């Protein structure tokens, strides 16, 4: 595939930001679709997209579309991903790609059956700062990872119902908690997961709002992932090892990292690696640091051009692992979605 | 009590640092004692203390001593505190004041019976930066506390047996974890404790090394306290509220805070309050920031001069609460001390 041709499913805020990044990257976006044609028409005009559809079927059957980006609400992801794969499209789907591990297994199985690319949009993994951290950990030069602490919290009003209503896939864990959780999976890599612990506050609807996940790995690794939809938190990442540490701090650091501090000696100076996000976009973004989506656009195009069927930055195995952990935590918290009933 | 006359029980590293602070503060230290007279003699010479004892009985019976500072190994605290109270001495005992809640209850009961001052040396609570945070939280100006995250971790070699052997009271929770735990108790104040969760890695001896404690408070508070004896950690404190946040960062911040950042608007500038520790001591300290002990010296002397029987910065009720939580956590972790068998 030389020129990757994108189709966009969903014309809401997150699709806006992703498509804005595609446009900035001079990627080829050939069509977009939303439930209402009014929305998709406006979206097409904003980004100069040649074709737009009301409803998703037209887009998924469009022979000019190679890969579909799915940016609709969580609860619709599985159905749309399955349809897209069924129509022979490669897929990048926003996180969470499904509401539970069962949905994810279905999608992964179909992608493998159809020999199509499938990726959950854990965009943090595509940031150069994240790749730097991954390669630092691979060398083992900081010794054994003992603790990893990551958090992500925003003060999101109760009016944003998709966050607080179970019917809409609400809950802080699925929306925010998966980011710090992904950091724990990166930090401890292939080490065996020994135990999962969690506690959270629940909204009266039953959706979780603020929580802490604690995972034990291997011989003596302890990871802690915190999230909140009720308060801005520090949004940081700390990986503490026997011979040094990695810190990512600053505004929105833990999911859109731009600066990595590496210490080999606690008292000494840190080595600082800067990967500033290019902010010079003609169309403004809805969410902070969404310009970093460019990294994900490029990564997916590279994968597709290379004929890969999954991302090596956020593999399908990791996607499954993350969803299985989320399922286990939800059981502990008593958070159940309609999708959990098969 | 006009001139508070101190006696020092234990002449090890921590007693050295505390007595160094007393000396710097021009406090009146009248006697010291250690198991071996050689040690107490050397210690007396270092600080110009008039009397020294081999064994603790002489010190505890010394009519010139008003208050005893106990800086021996954890496992001996209860017995020495009980003896000191029995001999009519006020007591400041290093943390942990006892090995479990049962020991603490005994000591608190005796102190009340004898009308004597008793305090567990949670020195962090006496720092001006901590008092600033306490008063900020009291006003409620930052809204409701949603999360509090604190950690304390040092890379302590296995050779330091008192940290890794249960017979010596070893374990990261008792030695280090009690500091971040105390921050959670401060942040959530009088809110009802709803649940206790914990996980930790254990040494082959059975002592805990690295752990995370998660506590739920009141309607939607979630606190997370991390500790490690196996890795330097970030040593920070983050209190995130509905209308702002409090951050304490920098070297050794979370137990010896010197700088408080207060944000009322996530994007805006922080109000920074600095409380630098006076470092100009003629005799060097063993541990980082031990100069901050001066705050505790002064606080105890003020309490005693004011005729108080407990600290208002770290009350006996809080001491008990903290020990009861530690006991509950130890049960979860399976960490048992010889002292747990009555």
Q: Are B55 and B11 in contact (CB under 8 A)?
A: no
| Nearest-angstrom CA–CA distance, A43 and A15 | 9
A216 touches chain B (CB under 8 A): yes
A115-147 per-position pLDDT tens digit:
999 999 999 999 999 999 999 999 999 999 999
Give residue-wise pLDDT tens across range A48-71: 999 999 999 999 999 999 999 999
A241 touching B, CB under 8 A? yes
Give contacts of A224 with chain B, Cβ < 8 Å: 212, 224, 226
Least CA distance to A235: which residue of chain B?
B238
- Sort out which chain A residues have CB atoms less than 8 A from B222's CB and list them: 199-201, 210-212, 226, 228
Indicate the CATH number for domain B128-274+315-340: 3.30.360.10
Residues of chain B with CATH 3.40.50.720: 5-124
Which chain A residue is nearest to residue B229, measuring alpha carbons?
A146
CA distance B111 to chain A (A): 37
Mutate to test the interface with B, among A188, A198, A212 (most CBs of B within 10 A): A212
Residue B332 near residue B93, CB atoms below 8 Å = no
Q: Are residues A201 and B221, on separate chains, in Cβ contact within 8 Å? A: yes
pLDDT at B253: 85
Mean pLDDT of chain A: 97
Q: From the candidates A143, A144, A146, A333, which should be mutated to test the interface with B, based on the most B CB atoms within 10 A?
A: A146
Chain A residues whose CB is inside 8 A of the B147 CB are: 153, 210, 226, 228, 231, 233
Residues of chain A found within 8 Å of residue B155, distances taken between Cβ atoms: 242, 266
CB contact under 8 A, A212 and B222: yes
> What pLDDT shows up at residue B286?
96
Q: From A150, which residue of chain B is nearest by alpha-carbon distance?
A: B149
Asked whether the bond before A96 is cis by omega within 30 degrees of 0, the reply is yes
A46 interfacial to chain B (CB closer than 8 Å):
no
A25 in contact with chain B, both atoms CB, cutoff 8 A: no
The CATH number for A5-124, chosen from 3.40.50.720, 3.40.630.10, 3.40.190.80, 3.30.470.10, is 3.40.50.720
Render pLDDT for A91-100 as a digit per residue (tens, 0 to 9): 999 999 999 9
- Check whether B252 has a pLDDT greater than 90: no
Mean pLDDT, range A37-47, rounded to an integer = 98
Is the Cβ pair B220, A242 closer than 8 Å? Answer: no
Among residues of chain A, what percentage have pLDDT more than 70?
100
Which of A198, A212, A220 is closest, CB to CB, to B230? A220
Query: Whose structure tokens read 């003020």?
Result: B302
The answer to whether the CB atoms of A214 and B197 lie below 8 A apart is: yes
Residue from A172, A192, A199 whose CB has the most chain B CBs within 10 Å, to mutate: A199
State mean pLDDT over B48-58: 98
On whether any CB of chain A is under 8 Å from the CB of B226, the answer is yes
* Residue for token pair 């500091």: B179
Which residues pair with residue A221 across a beta bridge? Answer: A217
The pLDDT of residue B10 is above 90? yes
Lowest mean pLDDT among A155-169, A264-278, B25-39, B322-336: A264-278
pLDDT in tens, A206-242: 999 999 999 999 999 999 999 999 999 999 999 999 9
Nearest CB among B210, B232, B240 relative to A222 is that of B210
Minimum Cα–Cα distance from A149: chain B residue? B226
**Residues forming CATH 3.30.360.10 domain(s) in chain A:** 128-274+315-340
Q: How many CB pairs under 8 A join A and B?
A: 130
Which of B198, B199, B242 is facing A230, going by the closest CB pair?
B242
Yes or no: say if A264 and A177 are a contact pair by the CB < 8 Å rule: no
pLDDT in tens, B140-154: 999 999 999 999 999
What DSSP designation does B71 have?
Answer: -
Q: Name the DSSP letter for residue A197.
A: E
Neighbours of B79 (CB within 10 A): 14
Residues of chain B positioned with their CB less than 8 A from the CB of A216: 199-201
Q: Which of A146, A198, A251 sits opposite B228 (nearest CB)?
A: A146
Q: How confident is the model at residue B46 (pLDDT cuts 50, 70, 90)?
A: very high
**B27: closest CA of chain A, how far (Å):** 32
For the segment A162-177, the average pLDDT, to the nearest whole number, is 97
User: Which chain B residues are Cβ-neighbours of A199 within 8 angstroms?
Assistant: 195, 197, 214, 216, 222
Over range B117-141, report the average pLDDT.
98
Phi-psi region of B230 (alpha: psi -120 to 50; beta: other; left: phi over 0): alpha
DSSP string, B135-189: HHHHHTTT--EEEEEEEEE-B--TT-HHHH-GGGT--HIIIIIHHHHHHHHHHHT
> Is the confidence at residue B108, as pLDDT, over 80?
yes
Residue among A147, A210, A226 minimizing CB distance to B220: A210
Rounded to a whole number of angstroms, the distance from the CA of A77 to the nearest CA of chain B is 30
Contacts of A160 (CB under 8 A, 6+ apart): none
DSSP per-residue string spanning B279-332: ---SS--SSTTGGGHHHHHHHHHHHHHTT-SS-SSS-HHHHHHHHHHHHHHHHH
The pLDDT value recorded for residue B151 is 98
- Res. B266 pLDDT band, cuts 50 70 90: confident
Contact (CB<8Å) B222/A228? yes
Chain-centroid distance of CA B104 in Å reads: 14
Summarize pLDDT for B278-292 with one digit per residue, the tens. 999 999 999 999 999
Length of chain A: 342
* Cross-chain Cβ contact A209/B220 below 8 Å: yes
Shortest CA gap A12–chain B (Å): 25
Report which secondary-structure segment, H or E, holds B94.
strand B90-94
According to DSSP, residue A192 is labeled P
Mean pLDDT of A33-41: 97
Q: Which of A270, A283, A242, A235 is nearest to A256 (CA)?
A: A235
The C-alpha atoms of residue B111 and residue B103 are separated, in whole angstroms, by 13
| Mutation site, B152, B176, B193, B201, interface A, largest A CB count within 10 A | B201
Contacts with B216 from chain A: Cβ below 8 Å? 199, 201
Question: Within its chain, how far is the Cα of A116 from the centroid?
Answer: 19
A195, A230, A267: residue with CB nearest B199: A195
Q: What is the share, in percent, of chain B residues with pLDDT greater than 90?
A: 96
Q: Which residue of A has its CA nearest to B263?
A: A232
Tokens standing for residue B164: 């890794």
Nearest to B64 by CA among B8, B110, B14: B8
CA distance A248 to A37: 42
Confirm or reject contact between B151 and chain A (CB < 8 A).
yes
What pLDDT, on the 0 to 100 scale, is given for residue A2? 74
The alpha carbon of residue B98 and the mean position of all alpha carbons in its chain are separated, in whole angstroms, by 12
What pLDDT does A240 receive? 98
Evaluate whether A150 touches A196 at the Cβ level (below 8 Å).
no
Nearest CA among A85, A123, A77, A122 for reference residue A103: A77
Contact check, Cβ <8 Å, A219/B209: no
Pick A252 or B205 by higher pLDDT. Answer: B205
């Amino acid at each position: 595939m030389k020129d990757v041709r994108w189709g966009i499913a969903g014309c809401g805020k997150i699709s806006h930001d992703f498509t804005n990044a595609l446009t900035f990257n001079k990627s080829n976006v050939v069509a977009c679709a939303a439930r209402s044609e009014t929305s998709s028409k406006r979206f097409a005009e904003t980004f100069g997209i040649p074709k737009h559809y009301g409803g998703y079927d037209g887009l998924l059957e469009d022979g000019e579309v190679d890969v579909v980006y799915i940016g609709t609400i969580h609860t619709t992801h599985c159905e749309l991903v399955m349809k897209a794969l069924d129509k022979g499209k490669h897929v990048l789907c926003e996180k969470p790609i499904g509401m539970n591990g069962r949905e994810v297994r279905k999608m992964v199985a179909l992608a493998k059956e159809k020999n199509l690319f499938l990726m959950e949009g854990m965009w943090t993994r595509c940031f150069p700062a994240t790749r730097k951290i991954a390669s630092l950990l691979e060398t083992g030069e900081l010794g054994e990872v003992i603790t990893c602490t990551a958090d992500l919290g925003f003060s999101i009003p109760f009016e944003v119902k998709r966050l607080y209503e179970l019917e809409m896939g609400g809950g802080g864990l699925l929306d925010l908690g998966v980011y710090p959780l992904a950091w724990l999976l990166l930090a401890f890599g292939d080490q065996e997961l020994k135990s999962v612990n969690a506690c959270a506050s629940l909204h009266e609807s039953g959706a979780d709002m603020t929580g802490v996940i604690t995972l034990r790995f291997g011989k003596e690794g302890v990871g802690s992932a915190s999230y909140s939809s009720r308060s801005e938190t520090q949004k940081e990442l700390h990986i503490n090892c026997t011979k040094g540490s990695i810190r990512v701090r600053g505004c929105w650091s833990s999911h859109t990292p731009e600066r990595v501090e590496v210490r080999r000696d606690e008292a000494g100076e840190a080595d600082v690696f800067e990967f500033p996000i290019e902010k010079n976009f003609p169309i403004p973004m809805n969410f902070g640091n969404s310009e970093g989506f460019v990294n994900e656009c490029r990564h997916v195009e590279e994968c597709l051009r290379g004929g890969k069927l999954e991302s090596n930055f956020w593999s399908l195995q990791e996607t499954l692992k993350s969803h299985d952990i989320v399922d286990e935590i939800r059981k502990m918290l008593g958070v159940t979605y309609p999708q959990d009933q098969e």
